[in-house]
Amino acid sequence: MADFKIALIKGDGIGPEIVDGAVTVLDAVAKKYGHNFNYTEVDMGGCAIDKFGTPLPQETVDICKASDSVLLGAVGGPKWDNCKERPEKGLLGIRKALGLYSNLRPSILKKQLKDASPLKDEKLANGLDVMVVRELTGGIYFGERHTAEDGSWASDEEKYSVEEVKRIGKIAFETAMLRNKRVVSVDKANVLDSSKLWRKTMTELAKDYPEVTLTHMYVDNAAMQLAINPAQFDVIVTSNIFGDILSDLSSAIAGSIGMLPSASLGATKCGMYEPIHGSAPDIAGMDIANPIATIVSAAMMLEMSFGLSAEAKAINDAVDKVLDMGYRTTDIYSDGMKKIGCKEMAALIAENI
């Protein structure tokens, strides 16, 4: 029996629905395995702007830092588009506050959803299992920003240090050691000085991992190769902005963005776990959102932050069992399947733990 403190950031749009679904499944795990998961709800994003006038209240930061890990739904929406501080600023801020410099996004095409992929069957003959390792606290998203007073120009700085590249590279190489020992480092070294530094640092770091094969790829070619032959990839490591784009592309190949989890990690066991999709305000409150990405994000939390591998496997096995039974939310529905809502999907997965 173990006790864990989990900070819940439900956020905006469908966030509360999908986080509630994950909690339903976590409670089933706790009951079966004799653990105590102690939840504390905190505000971030648009809901925090409405309540506190800021997307990231200090209380939220303090509670997250005092927790064993954080489970996040989604933030943002058109309601806050014209706010001085957008909801997404809270997301960037909490990552920085918790020191979460790496984002792991697995893109796995489940056999039950092969027909949902936009790629032809022959391109998926060898399956799809790609891990995108995205640098999370550097690069253009955190660089200096400037806008001319007359609005005639604007600039954003892309900047990386050797240490920032090395630490994300280590995550990628160590992840590859647990997989198929192949790393593709994605950059734009034919144009950008920051990418030249990135490539040089990755090449030097690779000497510490002789069992891993390192190759380099320009980001435009990487996007094309993901669409042409995704099976060639094992681990992709790249910068913040390139990782943001490529991980969404890899998720689309897997059939639905509603299926895929992510883990944001730093130097400690405390991480932040979230689905890779957004807040989908257009379907909020309709009970049609897919909670699976959040549920399997919770499974990643159990394994990576809490060391509960058997419990994580129980969640993933339950997801597979429910899909094998033919149950689908709207985003993954096809003819002949059983269409269900967000709450029912979570309940069925919990029942099959």
Task: Give the burial string for 112-132 (b: 16+ CB within 10 Å, else e).
Answer: bbeebbebeeebbeeebbbbb
> How far, CA to CA in Å, does 258 sit from each of 18, 232, 265, 292, 328?
10, 24, 21, 7, 11
Q: 196-225: per-residue pLDDT in tens?
A: 999 999 999 999 999 999 999 999 999 999
Confidence of residue 127 (pLDDT cuts 50, 70, 90): low
**Contact predicate 56/15, CB 8 Å:** no
User: Which CATH code fits 1-115+280-353?
Assistant: 3.40.718.10
Q: How confident is the model at residue 128 (pLDDT cuts 50, 70, 90)?
A: confident
* pTM confidence score: 0.87
| pLDDT level of residue 254 (50, 70, 90 thresholds) | confident
Instruction: Give pLDDT tens digits for 315-328.
Output: 999 999 999 999 99
- Is the predicted pLDDT of residue 130 greater than 80, yes or no? yes
pLDDT at residue 90 greater than cutoff 70? yes
The one-letter amino acid code at 55 reads P
Percent of residues, the chain, with pLDDT higher than 90: 83
Query: Considering the chain, what is the average pLDDT of its residues?
Result: 93
pLDDT higher than 60, residue 125:
no
* Residues with active-site annotation: 141, 188, 220, 244, 248
What pLDDT shows up at residue 120?
66
Phi, psi (rounded to 5 degrees) for 21: -65, -40
- Same fold: 1-115+280-353 with 118-253: yes
Average pLDDT over residues 216-243: 95
**Residue 228 pLDDT class (50, 70, 90 cuts):** confident
Instruction: Answer yes or no: is pLDDT of 114 > 80.
Output: no
The matching CATH number, chosen from 2.40.50.140, 3.40.718.10, 3.10.20.30, 1.10.287.540, for 118-253 is 3.40.718.10
Would you put residue 10 in left (φ > 0), alpha (ψ -120 to 50) or beta?
alpha
The pLDDT-based confidence of 258 (bands split at 50, 70, 90) is: confident
Could you tell me the CA-to-CA distances from 186 to 62, 88, 161, 237, 247 in Å, in that order? 35, 25, 16, 6, 12
Residue 61 has pLDDT above 70, yes or no: yes
- Model confidence pLDDT, tens digit, residues 271-287: 999 998 999 999 999 99
Domain boundaries, the chain: 1-115+280-353, 118-253
Mean pLDDT of 94-100: 93
- Token readout for 112 is 């039950």
pLDDT band at 22 (very low <50, low <70, confident <90, very high): very high
The yes-or-no verdict on residue 74 having pLDDT over 60 is yes
In the predicted structure, residue 229 carries a pLDDT above the cut 90? no
